[in-house]
Structure 1
Amino acid sequence: MTISIRSLHFQAIMGLLDFERTSPQCIEVDCEIAYGYQKEERRFLDYAEVASLIESTIKQEKFLLVEDALETLFGLLKAKFPQIETINITICKPDILPNCRVCVTDFRSYL
């Protein structure tokens, strides 16, 4: 099975620049997670819990780099949901440049 969380958006501190350290900016996250679903054991992923974990972690940690946020999220998600097989996460800062959306994407496989 695969769950997808699209356009999760919230305000958070993230970035290296002075103004990014003092004023929250819009952060958007897309996440796709493949996992081993086992009906008999009712092992599933709670997408609300996944979305909440992503948002709360980014808000609390106030990452300097998007790359650091990705690394942290991979570890937290896999630890919380051991049935995860693959994770693909994109974090965007849509308002940082006036003429584009800036995003970083990374992927992990635990197969």
Structure 2
Amino acid sequence: MTIHIQDLKFQCIIGILDFERTQEQDVIVNLEIDYTYNSEFINYADVAALLQDTMQKEKFLLIEDALEHLSALLKINFSNIILLNLKITKPSILPNCKVSVSNIYKFDS
């Protein structure tokens, strides 16, 4: 099975620039989770809440750090994940484009 969460948008502190450490900015999270479904499902509402709550609480410096932390946290909370494609976008950090960082995580089942 594959869960898709597209364009999960919220505000949080993320970044290394001075103003990014004091002013929340929009972020957009997209993910795909491939998981083994053996009568145990993954609640996508729980996934979305975990992502948003964690990013708002942790106030990451780098998107890369957020990706690594979130991937580990998702695997801990949802052990049947076998593949995770996670992307975090900062849509307003540059005036003429959106900036994203993504990674694909493969887990042993």
Q: TM-score, normalised by structure 1?
A: 0.96
Separation in 1, partners of 2:21, 2:79: 33
Separation in 2, partners of 1:52, 1:21: 22
* Alignment match, 1:24: 24
Separation in 2, partners of 1:59, 1:21: 12
Among the aligned pairs, what percent are the same residue?
Answer: 51
Residue 52 of structure 1 and its aligned partner are, at CA, apart by: 0.3
Residue 99 of structure 1 and its aligned partner are, at CA, apart by: 0.3
3-state SS of paired residue (1:70): helix
Separation in 2, partners of 1:21, 1:110: 33
Aligned pair partner of 1:106 in 82, 91, 103: 103
How many residues are paired up? 108
> Unpaired segments of 5 or more residues in structure 2?
none
Q: How does 1:45-64 map to 2 (within 5 A)?
A: 45-64=42-61
Q: TM-score, normalised by structure 2?
A: 0.98
* Alignment match, 1:95: 92
> Unpaired segments of 5 or more residues in structure 1?
none
Residue 110 of structure 1 and its aligned partner are, at CA, apart by: 1.0
Separation in 2, partners of 1:68, 1:79: 17
Superposed CA RMSD: 0.6
